[in-house]
Structure 1
Amino acid sequence: MPSQDLAYTTVQYFSKVGVTPTPSEEHRVTTHQPIDDLFKHRVTPTLKTEWRDDEYPPLLERVVSSSAAGFPGHNGHECQNRHAFAALLQDGSVTTWGKSEAGGDSSNVASLLNGTVKVSQVFSNHRAFAALREDGSVVTWGDPLHGGVTADESSLLKSTPRIINIFSTTGAFAALRSDGSVLAWGDALCGGDLHSAARQLNGQIKVINIFSTACAFAALRADGSVVTWGDLLSGGSSNAVEAQLDGKNKVVRIYSSYGAFAALHEDGSITPWGHACSGGNNYDVAHQLNGNPPVVRIASTAYAFAALRADGSVVAWGHPHKGGSVRGGISTLLNGSVSVLKIFSTSAAFAALRADGSVITWGDSASGGLSLDVAEDLRGLIPVVKVFSTNYAFAALRADGSVITWGDSDSGGDSRAVAKKLKGSTRVIDVFSTSAAFAALLADGSVVTWGDPVSGGDCRKVAQQLDGSINVVKIFSTLWGAFAALRADGSIIAWGDSTQGGHNVRLDHAKNIVYLANPHINSDLSSIASTFGQSPCRIT
């Protein structure tokens, strides 16, 4: 039975019950909806991202780090589009496909995305995209209620000072400008209205980074203080911990679950706030998070946080059955006697990779928290080097190129149908995911899929295009069930749910693609660009 813990978030509905709406009939309501309902279709990042917190104003570039984890479909700063793809081409233009009303149709702004002014990067939320152009202007499209159309588009198209980076919640965008000030647009209840914090975000004290939960933002300023806005119960209000976030004990990084934030201070201590069912307080383990030993990084499920300390031990808090409690025999395996190197997550379970190549799991058993069936394979005799996940299942890549899976069988936890291809005879070099399916990239440039067929687990219709005759170099996904493989010739092959971008109808003309917008892997531009012999796109 799904948990009925409430995430007090804004859920936008675009039709009346039983009625197909016309545009004039579209409306939205605010609801207290269970987190599990919000995550019926979700994806946990296969490549986690972490952004450098350098001194302002040097380049705020995005760098890939597999150790940073966010809630499903989120990297700590940006939310993944549920329904559509946006591809950046070598000439600086953008092509889109997928559900039209969620950003799959960009015809209304085609003249702004044709490369006349080159696009340097594309960002997303659940139902909209925002393209950052080389002149510091921004073009948006998709669902108007999610920031696809701004109230004053000219402020973005002719932004002065120039915009240098973009962040998102599920339904809103926030833009960081070169003077350290911030703009926001989209759903007001998801952070699209920052009037309550406008004076603190005007650049007088420069903002250097922005983080997000599902419906709230947290801006880290140059003096180490934090400013929040958005849904009050999703971390948009930090009044209860205002004294801890005033910069006296500088915050250096902020992590997030679906409805809560956790600030890492320079002394290695932690301050959480937000929804209690998402880890918004750590009263039970506060004494273990006081900086002795210091916390070095944090991972999260939708409901809980897990902090990795400098001694290699792990401390967890949040929903006790969704990864927020480490007790009994598991606690002795995470006490640092064998150091934990990285922590990965599904929606409600964690997997800790230890220095000996073994993996320890905890949390919701149906979401990968129980790994008894593959315990022998995860002992480290063949070391695990990285762990990937769907919403309810994990996949561990081992040093010999083989893959071990566990968790919900319908979400990729059962890979027996393709077991021979995952044994390592042809090494797996990377794994990608949608909400309920995995796609493994092999060393010969071919692709193997498993999991829910509708969510991309069945690629038989495009098997010939994924057989390695033209190498696949990277795989991208939408949040609700489609994959798109970028091949070495710049072409794209898509499969999965056709209503969510899993089709190739509009892709025949889309050659020489550099990368696709995706919060988890679109920052890995250097390795992609090198494939095509060009410099990576960077925000300057």
Structure 2
Amino acid sequence: MAITVTVCLLSGEAASVSLDPSRSVETLRAKASQALGRSVGKLVSSGGSFLRGRGSLADAGVQDGDTITVVTQKVALRATESAFAFIRADGSVVTWGDQWEGGDCSDVQDQLHDVQSIQATAAAFAALCADGRVVSWGNPEFGGDSSTVQWRLVDVSQIQSTSGAFAALRQDGTVETWGMPHLGGNCDLVYGKLQNVRQIQANDAAFAALRADGSVVTWGADEEGGNSQEVQQYLHGVRCIQRGFPGFTAIKEHGQVVSWGFIDPDVHLPGLDQAEGIYRTGLSDVKEMRMMGDTWAAVGSDERIKTWGYTGDRKKQHQLHAMRGVKRIIHNESNAWAAITNDGSVATWGEPCSGGDSRSVKRRLKKVEHIQASGSAFAAIRSDGGVVTWGVQDQGGNSQAVRKCLKNVKEIQASCAAFAALRADGTVVAWGKKNHGGDCSAVQEQLHDVTCIQASLGAFAAIRTDGSVVTWGPPSFGGNSSRVKEQLGRSQADDEAETRARAKARELARAKAKARAKARARARPAIAKAQAQRKAQAKAKAKAKAKPKAKAKAKAKAKAKAKAKAKVLKKPSQK
């Protein structure tokens, strides 16, 4: 016999839900989410206890007529290279994708409650809970196993990650690490110095900790910034640290920066005043600095830009330095760069084919508010909600196929070779390489009321208003979440929509195959005729080529015969 309970938000909004008492708490949560039209967090019973786990409502003591209070928190998504982790409104976590790289958290599921944030390496996750606990899972080598330091992972306030290790900052300013030792998972050599730390910065292979006195401690891969011994005497009075690709840069007062693990100290970047490890940028105060390969760029508090290294040519560098009102600089992984000014104009430099050359779209790059980068392309959102793309064509640099749909766009996310745009009406448009999430047609009907998008290396996940999640892209990158669809709040209507979309895709594929076969059949006589013509032409050509040869041969033969006859006739006369 079904029971009816009232689910109530703290705002006073309420709805009635009817279901069998043998159904699970998760079923109640899903029905409550549908009834209230929003994401449902923690469920509190009439007696004041939290309803957790997968047990039945009867086991939890829920009775007919009870009032269940809903407490919510903001939902969030994180991704490794091949898996996703979703923090639900109740503070629990759902994972999917490559199970070896973080897609399976079943071993620690009972510990994943009241989760506030998640960090990721290339193949593992670490969750920070409200009480300062840390829970990790995924590939053990990449930080998925924190058992060796688990007893010290208490009162944690922040977690940072390289590609293969985690670093946890505790409230007392001390630090704990785990994961691959050579990527920052072992800080034994500097453990005694990691006191009074107020910020940790990480790049792909090393960590840098900024202490309260303005000094800096580093560890991890030496060649990527883990060893700052050569510049340690200058690492004082540091205001903040910024990561490079690779290396780090410490920003000090009066436009001075200290960089390490980035370039060979014997290599001089043209235009950069370098004195024994301290770089004088020529800016009165550095607000932002970015580094990629052999290129540097800095923005001062006066909103001027300075660039060093590979910018294309001297004329381009002069143009960049003459710019004013620069508010942001962006680069992709192929060393192409873009700068946005306060008036919405854009300047680009660096690797031309990967986005460093934007002349083909220069007229459209006006009133730009934001730029997103894939591995080798850029996508710019204008103030009118339009989108402009450039760079490697098949990696998102060409959006011609979806250009009519790219209107009223408010956010763009990128995998390594595709883009996904969120429009103001909550719908989504994707383009780029299909095998990296550039095609969302299979879930297009489900992509409504979307509030935000997250990307892995080659797939996307969209969170809807009701807290449910829709994914697309290759399963190997986390694009298939069917295994946890109920936990992600997807309804029967979503399943039906996906079935229709897949059937439509199959029908379209069959129609295309049929059309290709028909076209080939129509073209067959013409092809046969063309082949016959080519054969006849080849034969005629060969015959024409052989005729002079045969004639020359016959002529030579006749000449030889005549010569022999003349020789025979000549012999009697000699006698």
User: TM-score scaled to structure 1, two decimals?
Assistant: 0.72
Q: How far apart in 1 are the matches of 2:317 and 2:130? A: 49
For 2:451, the equivalent position in structure 1 comes to 473
Pairwise CA distance, 1:283: 7.2
Task: Check conservation: 1:258, 1:303, Cα contact below 8 A.
Answer: no
The separation in 2 between residues aligned to 1:403 and 1:291, in whole angstroms, is 35
- Deviation, 1:281, is 7.1
Q: State the shift of 1:208 in Å.
A: 0.4
Q: State yes or no: 1:313 paired with 2:304.
A: yes
- Alignment check: 8 A CA contact 1:260 1:279 kept: no
1:170 aligned to 2:163?
yes
Q: CA RMSD in A?
A: 2.1
State whether residues 83 and 500 of structure 1, in contact with CA within 8 Å, keep that contact through their aligned partners in structure 2. yes
Aligned to 2:228: 238
| Per-residue deviation, 1:275 | 3.3
CA drift at 1:510: 2.3
Report the CA distance between 1:112 and its aligned residue: 1.1
Q: Residues 142 and 304 of structure 1: is their aligned pair in 2 closer, same or farther, counting only changes over 3 Å?
A: farther
Closer, same or farther in 2 for the Cα pair 1:373/1:173, shift >3 Å?
same
Among 287, 295, 299, the alignment partner of 1:304 is 295
- Structure-2 residue corresponding to 1:150: 146
Match of 2:273, SS?
A: helix
Q: 2:354 is aligned with what amino acid?
A: S
Which amino acid in 1 is paired with 2:463? L
Contact map agreement 1:330 1:360 (CA 8 A) in 2: no
The residue identity in structure 1 corresponding to 2:317 is: S
**Aligned match of 2:128:** 132
- Counterparts of 2:402 and 2:287, CA distance in 1: 37
Matches within 5 A, 1:197-216: 197-201=190-194, 203=195, 206-216=196-206
Give the SS at the match of 2:369.
Answer: strand
Q: 1:398 aligns with which of 382, 404, 409?
A: 382
Amino acid paired to 1:310: S
Counterpart in the other structure of 2:433: 452
1:506 aligns to what SS in structure 2?
helix
Query: What TM-score, normalized to structure 2?
Result: 0.68
Once the two structures are superposed, the pairs formed by residues 175-194 of structure 1 within 5 Å of their partners are: 175-194=168-187
Letter in 1 for 2:83: A
Map 1:133-532; keep pairs closer than 5 Å: 133-156=129-152, 159-160=153-154, 162-201=155-194, 203=195, 206-245=196-235, 247=236, 250-276=237-263, 284-286=271-273, 289-290=280-281, 292-301=283-292, 304-317=295-308, 320=310, 325=311, 327-347=313-333, 348-378=335-365, 380=366, 383-422=367-406, 424=407, 427-466=408-447, 468=448, 471-478=449-456, 480-511=457-488
Alpha-carbon contact 2:94-2:488 (below 8 Å) kept: no
Q: Give the fraction of aligned pairs with identical amino acids, expressed as a percent.
A: 40
Q: Tell me the CA shift for residue 443 of structure 1.
A: 0.9
* Matched residue SS, 1:405: strand
- Is this contact kept in 2: 1:273–1:281, CA < 8 A? no
Shift of 1:500: 1.2
- Structure 2 CA distance for partners of 1:234 and 1:431, relative to 1, 3 Å: same
- Which whole-Å deviations, capped at 9, do the CAs of 1:149-204 have from their partners, x for residues lacking one? 12515325xx34x1111001000000000110001110000000001111101x2x
8 Å CA contact 2:307, 2:317 repeated in 1 = no
Which residue does the alignment assign to 2:506? none
SS in 2 for 1:109: helix
Quick one: which amino acid aligns to residue 94 of structure 1? V
Structure 2: how far apart are the matches of 1:153 and 1:111?
19
CA, structure 1 residues 447+154, in 2 after alignment: closer, same or farther (shift >3 Å)? Answer: same
Is residue 89–residue 467 contact of structure 2 (8 Å, CA) maintained in 1?
no
1:437-478: CA deviation from partner (whole Å, max 9, x where unpaired): 001111111000100001010011111111x3xx00000111
Rg: which structure is higher? 2
Contact 2:416–2:436 (8 Å) recurs in 1: yes
**1:331-364 deviation per Cα after TM superposition (whole angstroms, max 9, x unaligned):** 2332244321111111111100122211000011
Taking the aligned partners of 1:225 and 1:487, their CA distance within structure 2 comes to 44
Instruction: Give the aligned residue type for 1:376.
Output: R
- Paired residues of 1:278 and 1:302 also in contact (CA < 8 A): no
* Equivalent pairs, count: 408
Relative contact order: is structure 1 or structure 2 higher (C-alpha 8 Å, sep ≥ 6)? 1
Deviation at 1:366?
Answer: 2.3
Alpha-carbon distance in 2 for matches of 1:191, 1:443: 41
Separation in 2, partners of 1:509, 1:154: 31
Query: Which piece of structure 1 moves more, 144-153 or 229-238?
Result: 144-153
- 1 or 2, which has the higher helix percentage? 2
- Which residues of 2 match residues 111-126 of structure 1 at below 5 A? 111-113=110-112, 115=113, 118-126=114-122
Moved more, 487-496 or 501-510: 501-510
- What secondary structure does 1:101 align onto? helix
Offset of residue 293 of structure 1: 2.1
Deviations 1:286-335 (A, max 9, x none): 267356422111134355331112333222345x3xxxx46423223322
Q: Distance in 1 between matches of 2:192 and 2:184?
A: 16
Q: Which residue of 2 aligns with 1:13?
A: none
Q: Would the aligned equivalents of 2:305 and 2:323 in 1 still touch at CA under 8 Å?
A: no
What is the deviation of 1:124?
A: 0.7
1 CA distance for matches of 2:264 and 2:479? Answer: 34
State which drifts further: 102-111 or 264-273.
Answer: 264-273
Indicate conservation of the 8 Å contact 1:312/1:335, yes or no. Answer: no
Structure 1 residues 500, 88: CA separation in 2 closer, same or farther (over 3 Å shift)?
Answer: same
Shift of 1:278: 12
Distance 1:181 1:193, change over 3 A: same
* Matched-pair contact (CA < 8 Å) for 1:190–1:230: yes
Contact 1:272 1:280 in 2 (8 A): no
Where does structure 1 lack aligned partners over 5 or more consecutive residues? 1-78, 514-540
SS at match of 1:429: strand
Match of 1:10 in 2: none
Alpha carbons 2:418, 2:437 under 8 Å: kept: yes
Q: Are the counterparts in 1 of residues 246 and 292 from structure 2 also a CA contact under 8 Å?
A: no
Correspondence for 2:48: none
- What 5-or-longer segments of structure 2 have no aligned partner? 1-77, 491-575
Give the secondary-structure state (helix, strand or coil) at the position aligned to 2:239: strand
Map of 1:43-54 to 2, 5 A cutoff?
A: none
